[in-house]
């Protein structure tokens, strides 16, 4: 048995180093920062000076008393709701039609729809600025061809959030479509064959077979979509409108960022960051709860 | 597979086909438009937004590279992306191996601890990360940023790799062990080759996310000479003097898109397959 001893030693050494280093790095750059968001949010601090004052929960009470912050919450929730609903709806619809269709070109559609997902969000944001531009934009001059005078999409408080949602849907739709297509491939065809024999319509098959069979995937994608589009909202807003016009498209992340880097108000920004962190978990948990499988 | 047309398409199928074609146009046209606009002069752009360029000239690209420094952004992006991928594998490979193929105390707890990181986003941890790097004077440093990229994506990549490694039969490893292979050799000679298609997906996802990353880079890289393509491009858009140079802007956009587009065309099969294997990225 003694001959096993050194071997056991290398095994332990390998585990300690192979796992220890990534663990330390992970703690330093992921876990530590997350914890420090909460800790730092209890201070008033500009991020640079040694002057750091403990203020307790004052940053939070200030935040929720700030109408700018409250409207940033409602803009964020609006973007998430609209882009989630539209993206999921279109993605499921196209996934089902592509999987069930006999179209010879469906492979090409798949490749095309997924493509925006590999592009940089910065690039997408800039391109959509040109799509939505009032005079030189693609969208309005296309509308003009139909005799419609398009709004100033990104310059009008009434349309700006819809326009940003449009870009978000454009970016994400193909990715979710592919996930649903993968899920649809796992549904046994015999279920549809049986339904066909019973004379069930395509629509009934969709409601009673497709949706229930996809339900678990839909739930997971919903949670991921909420978290990822919350994150993407920063870049989309930053590039497309920089929170304008007149803060009409301010979202939580741009609010947080400007508090830190424009106003030098790091403690306050950390409090906003913590609210975002809680909100993203809250929304994810909520959507998970709401979609919990009752009996189908 | 079963895409053979049995007879003619029904009217319903034609409706579906039209709907799909319109959507595909909505997806592809803005990109196509960006591409051909990048060859138009500024006067042509303002004159008619739809028309094709009269002459396909490279002036915009020359300006984008000479005046707007797109070339140096490009080199920075390549350097940063490759280095981040290297750091990620250096840390992620052994960790994924240990967590998926070795038995020891607290293994499950440590794995769960790592996985919880998938729910944390750099869009808000960027504040403490900035403060930390600022304190030790490591802002404006590409290798450091690459390391931060690797560190903040470790959870997701370990999750993917551990998933691929778990499926490998123990027999291969036992055989390698009899041949006297150590752990690192087993990873390099057995595990990596056997899961190469999975690892290829990991490389692809990592490439895409590092190449396109904006928030962290934008915050940490303030020196123009170090900016990456997305950051430089966003910067280009903000600087007023270039905002009126549409041509250079579009040339810049196309320059950023080309590498991802090429990668996409060559590997889209693996990428779309990866979606169903690897599931979701955060």
Give the residue from chain A lying closest to B215, CA to CA: A235
Closest approach of A231 to chain B, Cα-based (Å): 6
The set of residues, in sequence order, having a beta carbon less than 8 Å from that of A129 and lying 6+ positions away, is A154, A239, A240, B237
Task: Pull the structure tokens for residue A19.
Answer: 């796992």
Say if residue B234 is in the same domain as residue B262: yes
d(CA B90, CA B150): 9
Nearest CA in chain A to B34: A127
Mean pLDDT of B24-51: 87
Is B262 near chain A, with CB under 8 Å? Answer: no
Residues A24 and A92 reside in one and the same domain: no
Q: Which of B19, B23, B154 is facing A26, going by the closest CB pair?
A: B154
- Regarding whether A22 and A160 lie in a shared domain, the answer is no
> Average pLDDT, whole number, for chain B?
86
A25 with A159, same domain: the answer is: no
Indicate whether A219 belongs to any domain: yes
Q: Does B234 touch chain A (CB under 8 A)?
A: yes
Per-residue pLDDT of chain A (296 residues; tens, 9 = 90+): 444 444 568 888 899 899 999 999 999 999 999 999 999 999 998 887 778 889 989 999 999 999 999 999 999 999 999 999 999 999 999 998 888 877 778 788 888 898 898 899 999 999 999 899 887 788 888 888 888 888 889 888 899 999 999 999 999 999 899 888 888 888 888 888 888 888 888 888 888 888 888 888 888 888 888 888 898 999 999 999 988 798 899 999 999 999 999 999 999 999 999 999 999 888 888 887 888 765 54
**Domain assignment present for A258:** yes
Same domain membership, residue B273 and residue B195: yes
Q: Residue B235's pLDDT band (boundaries 50, 70, 90)?
A: confident
Tell me if B3 is assigned to some domain. Answer: no
The dihedrals phi and psi of B244, each to the nearest 5 degrees, come to -90, -10
Same structural domain for residues A87 and A10?
A: no
Range of B28's domain? 11-60
For A22, the domain range is 2-31
Average pLDDT over residues B96-111: 92
CB-based contact (8 Å) between B1 and chain A? no
Helix (H, G, I), strand (E, B) or coil at B188: helix
Residues A275 and A221 grouped into a single domain: yes
> Closest Cα of chain A to B83: distance in Å?
16
The answer to the question of residue A155 being in a domain is yes
Query: Structurally, how many domains does chain A consist of?
Result: 2
Beta bridge partners of A177: none
Assigned domain for A162 exists: yes
Same domain, residue pair A11 and A115: no
Note whether residue A112 is domain-resident. yes
Which CATH number do you get for residue A217? 1.10.3720.10
Q: What is the DSSP string of A31-95?
A: IHHHHHHHHHTTEE--SSSS--EE-TTHHHHHHHT-HHHHHHHHHHHHHHHHHHHHHHHHHHHHH
A209 found inside a domain? yes
Is residue B6, in this structure, part of any structural domain at all? no
Spell out where chain A has E strands: 43-44, 53-54
Pairing of strands A43-44, A53-54: antiparallel
The reply to whether A11 and A138 lie within a common domain is: no
Cβ <8 Å between A18 and B24: no
Would you call A142 helix, strand, or coil by DSSP?
helix
C-alpha–C-alpha distance, residues A86 and A114, integer Å: 16
Both A89 and A7 in one domain: the answer is no
Cβ-based neighbour number of residue B274 at 10 Å: 21
ipTM computed for the complex: 0.87
* Residues A6, A134 within the same domain: no
Give me the number of domains chain B comprises: 2
The answer to whether residue A296 sits within a structural domain is no
Q: Is the separation of the CB atoms in B99 and B114 below 8 Å? A: yes
Same domain, A20 and A100: no
Chain A contact for B125, CB < 8 A? yes
In a shared domain, residues A74 and A13: no
Q: How far apart are CA B273 and CA B48, in angstroms?
A: 41
Interface residue of A11, A72, A104, A115 to substitute, partner B, most B CBs within 10 Å? A115
Q: Tally A–B CB contacts below 8 A.
A: 238
Is the Cα torsion angle B127, B133, B134, B139 positive or negative in sign? negative
Q: Quick one: B53 and B72 in the same domain? A: no
Domain match, B55 and B136 both? no
Confirm whether A49 is domain-assigned. no
* DSSP assigned state of A27: I
- Nearest residue to A80 (alpha-carbon basis) of A190, A224, A210: A224
B56 and B98 belong to one structural domain: no
Query: Distance (Å) from the C-alpha of residue B208 to the closest C-alpha of chain A?
Result: 6
Please check whether residues A13 and A70 belong to one and the same domain: no
Instruction: Write the residue in B182, B271, B280 that is nearest to A224 by C-beta.
Output: B280
Residues of B in contact with A260 (CB under 8 A): 127, 130
Contacts of B178 (CB under 8 A, 6+ apart): none
pLDDT at A7: 54
Q: Note whether B275 contacts A175, CB cutoff 8 Å.
A: yes
Cβ(B95)–Cβ(A18) below 8 Å: yes
């Amino acid at each position: 048995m003694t001959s096993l001893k050194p071997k056991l030693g290398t095994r332990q050494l390998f585990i300690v180093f192979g796992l220890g280093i990534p663990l330390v790095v992970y703690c330093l750059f992921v876990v530590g920062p997350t914890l420090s968001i909460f800790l730092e949010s209890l201070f008033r601090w500009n991020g640079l000076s040694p002057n750091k004052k403990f203020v307790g929960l004052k940053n939070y009470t200030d935040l929720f008393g700030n109408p700018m912050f409250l409207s940033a919450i409602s803009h964020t929730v609006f973007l998430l709701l609209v882009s989630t609903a539209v993206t999921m709806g279109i993605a499921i619809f196209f996934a089902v039609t592509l999987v069930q269709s006999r179209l010879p070109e469906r492979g090409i559609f798949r490749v095309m729809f997924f493509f925006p997902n590999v592009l940089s969000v910065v690039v997408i944001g800039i391109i959509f600025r040109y799509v939505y531009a009032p005079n030189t934009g693609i969208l309005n001059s296309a509308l003009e061809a139909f005799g419609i005078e398009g709004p100033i999409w990104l310059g009008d408080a009434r349309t700006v959030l819809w326009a940003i949602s449009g870009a978000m849907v454009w970016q994400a739709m193909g990715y979710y479509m592919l996930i649903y297509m993968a899920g649809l491939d796992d549904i046994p065809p015999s279920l549809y064959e049986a339904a066909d024999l019973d004379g069930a319509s395509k629509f009934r098959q969709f409601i009673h077979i497709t949706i229930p069979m996809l339900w678990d995937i839909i739930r997971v994608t919903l949670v991921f979509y909420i978290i990822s589009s919350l994150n993407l909202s920063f870049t989309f807003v930053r590039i497309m409108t920089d929170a304008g016009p007149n803060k009409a498209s301010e979202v939580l992340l741009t609010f947080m960022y400007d508090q830190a880097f424009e106003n030098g108000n790091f403690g306050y920004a950390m409090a906003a960051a913590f609210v975002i962190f809680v909100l993203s978990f809250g929304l994810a948990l909520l959507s998970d709860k709401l979609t919990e499988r009752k009996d189908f | 597979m079963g895409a053979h047309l049995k007879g003619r398409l029904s009217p319903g199928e034609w409706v579906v086909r039209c709907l799909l074609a319109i959507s595909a146009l909505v997806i592809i046209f803005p990109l196509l438009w960006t591409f051909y606009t990048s060859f138009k002069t500024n006067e042509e752009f303002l004159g008619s937004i739809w028309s094709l360029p009269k002459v396909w000239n490279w002036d915009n690209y020359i300006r984008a590279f000479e005046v707007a420094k797109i070339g140096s952004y490009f080199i920075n992006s390549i350097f940063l992306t490759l280095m981040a991928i290297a750091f990620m594998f250096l840390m992620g490979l052994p960790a994924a191996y240990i967590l998926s193929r070795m038995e020891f105390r607290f293994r499950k707890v440590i794995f769960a601890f790592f996985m919880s990181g998938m729910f944390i986003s750099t869009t808000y941890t960027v504040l403490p990360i900035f403060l930390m790097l600022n304190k030790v004077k490591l802002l404006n440093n590409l290798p450091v940023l690459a390391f931060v990229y690797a560190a903040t994506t470790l959870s997701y990549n370990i999750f993917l790799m551990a998933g691929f490694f778990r499926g490998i039969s123990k027999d291969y490893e036992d055989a390698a062990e009899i041949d006297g292979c150590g752990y690192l050799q087993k990873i390099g000679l057995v595990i990596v080759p056997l899961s190469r298609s999975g690892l290829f997906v990991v490389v692809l996802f990592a490439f895409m996310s590092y190449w396109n990353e904006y928030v962290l880079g934008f915050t940490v890289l303030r020196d123009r000479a170090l900016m990456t393509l997305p950051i430089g491009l966003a910067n280009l858009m903000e600087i007023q003097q270039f905002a009126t140079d549409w041509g250079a802007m579009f040339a810049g956009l196309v320059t950023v898109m080309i590498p991802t587009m090429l990668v996409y065309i060559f590997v889209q099969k693996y990428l779309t397959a990866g979606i169903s294997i690897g599931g979701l990225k955060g």
